[in-house]
Structure 1
Amino acid sequence: MAFKRPNTGPPLDGGGEERGLLSAIDKIVNVIDKIVNVIGKILSAIDKILNAIDKARMCGVTEGGPGIWLAGKLRKMARKST
């Protein structure tokens, strides 16, 4: 059975430092990408809410009683977007 080098530490040829740095940078980029995706989803949800408010204003919905109707519409939209 051949000797297997453990996965920890740099390889015997000394090239592990560069690979470790690239791996760390890759992980950081992946985390940043996930954060940007979450921010994009939040902005999309806010945009949908603002569009619903604009549509409600165009239909003549004013504050007061019809606000309950608008809240129900926003809840339905939030359920559909998730």
Structure 2
Amino acid sequence: MPGVDEIRAGIALSKEKANASVAALQQAAQALEEAQLSLAQATSGSTQPEVGQAHGMFAEALQGITGTQSTIQAAISAADSYSARL
């Protein structure tokens, strides 16, 4: 079994990777917001159902990213709690 220092180092590496994934997800969310804005500008005034559907799907994707970021943050917090008890 690894020692306390090794466990803490592994947790620190895990947190580093997790924080990088949160940052990447933030970039993805920003790109989706830009895509949604571009679609809104290009289709302004359209009543076609596909346009509304696309907007809804962008919103759903953004919610998914936000939820994923929250889950990752909770995992980081749990790992921190464990590390603090070592």
TM-score, normalised via structure 1 length? 0.50
Runs of 4+ in 1 over 3 A off after TM superposition: none
Q: Which runs of 5+ in 1 are unaligned?
A: 1-13, 59-82
Taking only the aligned residue pairs, the percentage that are identical comes to 13
In structure 1, what residue type is equivalent to 2:22?
D
Q: Which has the higher contact order (CA 8 A, sep 6+)?
A: 2
User: Which structure carries more helix by proportion?
Assistant: 2
Q: How many aligned residue pairs are there? A: 45
Q: CA deviation at 1:56?
A: 6.0
Partner of residue 44, structure 1: 33
1:9-61 per-position Cα deviation (integer Å, ceiling 9, x unaligned): xxxxx410000000000000000000000000001001000001111667xxx
Cα RMSD for the two superposed structures? 1.6
What does residue range 39-78 of structure 1 map to in structure 2 within 5 Å? 39-55=28-44
In structure 1, what residue type is equivalent to 2:32?
L
TM-score, normalised via structure 2 length? 0.48
